[in-house]
Amino acid sequence: MTTSRRLADRKIAKFQKNVTKRGSVPEKTAKKGDNYPVGPILLGFFIFVVVGSSLFQIIRTAMSGGMA
Q: What is the pLDDT along the chain (68 residues), one digit of tens a residue?
A: 677 888 899 888 888 877 666 666 666 655 666 677 888 899 999 999 999 999 999 999 999 886 65
- In angstroms, the CA 23 to CA 50 distance is 40
Contact in structure between 68 and 61 (CB atoms under 8 Å): yes
Which pLDDT does position 25 carry in this prediction? 61
Q: What is the pLDDT of residue 1?
A: 62
Listed in sequence order, the DSSP H helices in the chain are: 3-21, 40-63
pLDDT computed for residue 57 by the predictor: 93
Question: What's the distance, CA 54 to chain centroid?
Answer: 28
